[in-house]
């Protein structure tokens, strides 16, 4: 929206009149829209998102007067939904925020409904990298803020990634990861090339989960990886609000591997051409998990390997008979809804890798680094 834009956050109201009414379709004037400014349409969590009412007029003759005038655009979005889950923080807010605001080079103000202060403390370096101005708590704001331009909601292209074809300036996930490395002052831009550095071992980071989807024979996996020539680091990467600490563990690594989970979100800190290995547990979740981490990995210019475990590699065989639908008909579990699916396949399941079967995956990762 461009023109006379007046925002009263406490009333969840945005009033808009174009500078030239002739430049706007007549059918879009004198209308009211109710918008949920969160980047997960057609999702149950949208019921938790506060409505923002947008009203358009040919002129704002009887609108409340401006209390504060701004000469930069405004972007309005919600900070509720699934925020608090590390992957969703990036997928639902931070990547869409980057898509929406990057073209302004910091000259944009953020107005946040359902604002969670911890989020803006945790990701303060990213927020400051996208906006030069104080974030406004939309719901508490009693003043009428006036802007020359406003965007209500955030652009979202696909899971945890960016489609350059959908941005007029060709923005990509490579741009995002470069921005992240600059934001957190990460030094390593490219993964090791073994042929050029024969005296150095490539560093493999294994995400050591502690509560579910635990890699229970991790010691044997470490031994095998070291035998193949890797320097191995094990870390759960759970640093709470201290994102920079996790970033500094991940960035020096050339390969990261882990059973599916939010910890793999940390691939954003990897150098270009590093390798991502996602271990997919039982449950017919391979396509979903590929969309969540496989596609984004490739969009980040990372190499990607996906290892889908067999029944014998799952601890579910110790909990259920082998003729249970959990094994014979996973889609029947899917039909019971996400909560039941997650209870079984995400929360009850740990992984014991077949080392003979998994070894070629590590060998392929090593070969990627030789190219």
Reply yes or no on whether the pLDDT at 20 is more than 80: no
Q: What pLDDT score was predicted for residue 58? A: 80
Q: How many CB atoms lie within 10 A of CB 37?
A: 24
What tens digit of pLDDT does each residue of 266-278 get? 999 999 999 999 9
Q: Which domains does the chain have, with CATH numbers?
A: 2-156 (no CATH), 194-370 (3.40.50)
CA distance 209 to 237: 9
Report the pLDDT averaged over residues 185-192. Answer: 97
Q: What pLDDT score was predicted for residue 131? A: 98
Q: What pLDDT score was predicted for residue 286? A: 97
What tens digit of pLDDT does each residue of 201-249 get? 999 999 999 999 999 999 999 999 999 999 999 999 999 999 999 999 9
3-state SS class at 306: strand
Q: Do the bridges between strand 52-56 and strand 31-35 make them parallel or antiparallel, or are there none, so unpaired?
A: antiparallel
Residues in a beta bridge with 255:
204, 275
Start-end of H helices in the chain: 86-88, 95-101, 117-122, 124-130, 173-183, 218-227, 243-250, 286-289, 295-299, 325-328, 330-334, 338-341, 355-370
Q: What pLDDT score was predicted for residue 337? A: 96
Q: What pLDDT score was predicted for residue 27? A: 65
Report the pLDDT averaged over residues 349-359. Answer: 98
Residues in a beta bridge with 34:
53
Report the pLDDT averaged over residues 247-257. Answer: 98
What tens digit of pLDDT does each residue of 277-307 get? 999 999 999 999 999 999 999 999 999 999 9
What is the value of pTM for the model shown?
0.95
Confidence tier at 192 by pLDDT (50, 70, 90): very high
CA distance 59 to 185: 47
What tens digit of pLDDT does each residue of 155-188 get? 999 999 999 999 988 999 999 999 999 999 999 9
């Amino acid at each position: 929206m461009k023109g006379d834009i007046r925002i009263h956050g406490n009333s969840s109201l945005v009033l808009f009149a174009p500078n030239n009414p002739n430049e706007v379709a007549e059918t879009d004037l004198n209308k009211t829209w109710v918008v949920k400014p969160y980047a997960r349409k057609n999702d149950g969590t949208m019921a938790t998102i506060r409505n923002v009412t947008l009203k358009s007029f040919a002129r704002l003759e009887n609108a409340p007067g401006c209390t504060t005038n701004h000469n930069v655009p405004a972007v309005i979005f919600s900070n509720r939904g699934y925020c608090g889950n590390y992957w969703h923080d990036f997928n639902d807010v931070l990547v869409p925020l980057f898509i929406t605001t990057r073209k302004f080079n910091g000259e944009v103000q953020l107005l946040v409904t359902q604002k969670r202060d911890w989020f803006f403390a945790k990701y303060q370096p990213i927020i400051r990298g996208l906006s030069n101005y104080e974030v406004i708590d939309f719901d508490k704001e009693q003043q009428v803020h006036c802007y020359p331009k406003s965007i209500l909601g955030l652009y979202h292209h696909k899971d945890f990634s960016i489609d350059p074809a959908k941005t007029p300036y060709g923005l990509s996930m490579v741009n995002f990861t470069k921005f992240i490395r600059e934001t957190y002052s990460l030094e390593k831009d490219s993964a090791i090339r073994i042929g050029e550095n024969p005296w150095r071992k490539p560093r493999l980071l294994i995400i050591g989960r502690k509560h579910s989807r635990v890699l229970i024979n991790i010691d044997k996996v470490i031994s095998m990886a070291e035998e193949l020539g890797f320097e191995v680091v094990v870390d759960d990467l759970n640093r709470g609000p201290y994102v920079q600490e996790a970033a500094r563990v991940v960035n020096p690594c050339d390969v990261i591997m882990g059973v599916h989970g939010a910890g793999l979100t940390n691939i954003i800190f990897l150098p270009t051409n590093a390798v991502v290995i996602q271990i997919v547990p039982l449950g017919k979740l391979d396509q979903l998990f590929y969309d969540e981490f496989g596609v984004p990995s490739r969009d980040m210019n990372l190499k990607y390997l996906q290892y889908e475990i067999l029944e014998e590699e799952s601890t579910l065989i110790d909990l259920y008979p082998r003729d249970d639908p959990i094994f014979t008909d996973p889609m029947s579990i899917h039909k019971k809804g996400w909560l039941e699916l997650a209870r079984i396949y995400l929360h009850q399941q740990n992984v014991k890798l077949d080392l003979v079967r998994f070894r070629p995956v590590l060998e392929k990762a090593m070969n990627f680094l030789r190219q």
